[in-house]
Each structure stands twice: as C-alpha cells, then as structure tokens.
C-alpha cells in the first residue's frame, strides 16, 4: 500500500482504495496478459527465422499476402503450417510487426508495417535490425534474466574479475565495461596493426595477437559474431 501526501493530507493510493475490483470484471483477465509478454520477442524471432518479413517484401513492399501464399514460398514446410503462421502473425500484428487483416478479402492477409520494414535487409548494404533482435532473444541472453533477483540481492557479488574482448578493435567495448564496473580489468585482443593505433583506457590492457592462431587465457570473452559472419562470407 502506498500513501501520497498532498497539502498535509495523506491519501491511500493502493489499488484496493482507488478501484473496486469486484465491479471490474476485466481487471484480472486484462492484466493476465502480463504473463504472455515473453511471447512477443519469441514469436518475432520465429518469424525472422522463417524469413517471413523478407518473403512478404518479395511480393512487394505494399503487398498484402495470405498465410498460404507465404507457406508456398517456404522450403520444407509442414503439412498444415497455415494456422501456425497465422498464430505468429496475431502476436506480431498486435505489436506493430505485420499488419492485417484486409477487410476486402475473406482470407486474412498481412503486409509490412513501418516497424517491420527495419526487419527487411536493405538492398544497397544488407543492413537491418535482424541480427540485433536475434541476439537479444538468444537463449544465453534470455537465461541471464533469471539471475536478476540475485543481482539485486547480492550487490557485492561479481561473477568475474576480467573481461577479454577478442577482436575488440581499438578497445571501445571493453573500455565501457571496465568504466562501468571498476572491479573488472579488461584485455583488448586484436591484430598488431589495430592495437598500434588503439588509445589507452584506464583498466584496459591491449594485447596483440591473431585469434585464429591462439586465444588468450580468459575467464570470460566477448567475441563479436559479426566478425565471424564477415569472414564466413568473404
């Protein structure tokens, strides 16, 4: 229960005093959706992995596409994926991902919205928000959120004391980590010609080397996935 003091008077602002929950039949059912919030990033990730947004764009940026049309463009589609695709769209649609339905047709259709355009790689450079969203919904990232309570309750506990940024360029990323958490020391590991122009940061040691020949012994490493993808496509 919370109290608000206004001009010397206390007012109870707890839900029981401001709202008669018995008279609001939708109160619990409406707020029960809070437990479903995790469905949004997971459904979005599934749509990205199914290449849904790119498939829609191939029909045209302003096209309206049915689930059956999308499934016809998917390799190795299951026997009856239309309903499942529709369920994914319902989640994404309610959160600005894919728009629909179109009132002039009997079958539900979908199109790109202003928000979902950023999930279609640009033709000129291939840039999109897809890598960021996939990273943010990765199992390793999601699992870390189960430790939020421990982070609050155990204030002085540090999971590691050194961070190594492999292929860290001039050390910008690891320097920000060290600046935020003073108890952590940082090592920035990259090729000699990169390290030679790297500025000095408090708490960061620059180390020359080639990650394909030898990696430094480390408690924790930060390895940029984009570097491996770039090498894989070169």
- In CATH, what number is assigned to the domain containing residue 119? 1.10.10.10
| Same-domain pairing of 52 and 130 | yes
Considering the domain architecture, whether residues 174 and 109 belong to the same structural domain is answered as no
What's the pLDDT score for residue 157?
65
Tell me if 92 is assigned to some domain.
yes
Phi, psi of 94 (to 5 degrees): -70, -10
Judge if 28 and 63 occupy the same domain. no
CATH of the domain at 185: 3.40.50.150
Which tokens is 149 given? Answer: 């309570």
The answer on 90 and 32 residing in a single domain is no
How high is the pLDDT of residue 33? 79
Distance, CA of 225 to CA of 202 (rounded, Å): 26
Using DSSP's 3-state secondary structure scheme, residue 205 falls into strand
Question: Which structure tokens are listed for 129?
Answer: 């928000």
pLDDT of residue 230: 46
Tell me, yes or no, whether 72 and 119 share the same domain.
yes
Is residue 168 a part of any domain in this protein?
A: yes
| Whether 184 contacts 161, CB under 8 Å | yes
Tokens representing 82? 């239309």
Residues of the chain with pLDDT under 50: 1-2, 4-5, 7, 17-18, 83, 100-105, 225-234
Q: For residues 43 and 132, state if they share a domain.
A: yes
State the pLDDT at residue 188: 92
Cα separation, 120 vs 135, whole angstroms: 16
Q: Is residue 143 part of a domain?
A: no
Q: Same domain for 128 and 187?
A: no
Angle of helix 39-49 relative to helix 82-93, nearest 10 degrees, comes to: 130
Structural domain of 31: 3-36
Domain count, the chain: 3
The pLDDT assigned to 202 comes to 94
> Is residue 178 located within the same domain as residue 126?
no
The pLDDT assigned to 164 comes to 84
| 188, 211 Cβ separation under 8 angstroms | no
pTM for the full model? 0.56
**Is the bond into 101 cis (omega within 30 degrees of 0)?**
yes
Residue 193 located in a structural domain: yes
Q: What is the DSSP pairing of strand 185-190 with strand 204-208?
A: parallel
């Amino acid at each position: 229960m919370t109290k608000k003091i206004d001009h010397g008077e206390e007012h109870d602002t707890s839900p029981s005093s401001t709202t008669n929950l018995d008279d609001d039949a939708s109160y619990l059912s409406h707020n029960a959706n809070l437990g479903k919030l995790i469905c949004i990033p997971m459904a979005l990730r599934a749509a990205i992995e199914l290449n849904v947004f790119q498939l829609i764009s191939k029909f045209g940026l302003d096209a309206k596409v049915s689930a059956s049309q999308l499934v016809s463009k998917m390799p190795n589609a299951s026997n009856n994926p239309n309903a499942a695709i529709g369920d994914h769209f319902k989640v994404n649609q309610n959160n600005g991902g894919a728009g629909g339905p179109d009132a002039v047709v009997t079958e539900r259709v979908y199109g790109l919205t202003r928000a979902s355009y950023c999930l279609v790689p640009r033709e000129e450079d291939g840039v999109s928000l897809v890598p960021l969203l996939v990273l943010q919904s990765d199992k390793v990232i999601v699992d870390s959120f189960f430790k939020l309570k421990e982070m609050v309750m155990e204030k002085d506990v540090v999971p590691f004391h050194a961070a190594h940024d492999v292929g860290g360029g001039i050390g910008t990323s690891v320097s920000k980590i060290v600046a935020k958490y003073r108890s952590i020391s940082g090592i920035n590991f990259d090729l000699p010609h990169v390290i030679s122009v790297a500025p000095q940061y408090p708490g960061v040691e620059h180390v020359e080397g080639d990650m394909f020949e030898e990696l430094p012994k480390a408690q924790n490493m930060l390895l940029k996935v984009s570097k491996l993808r770039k090498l894989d496509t070169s």
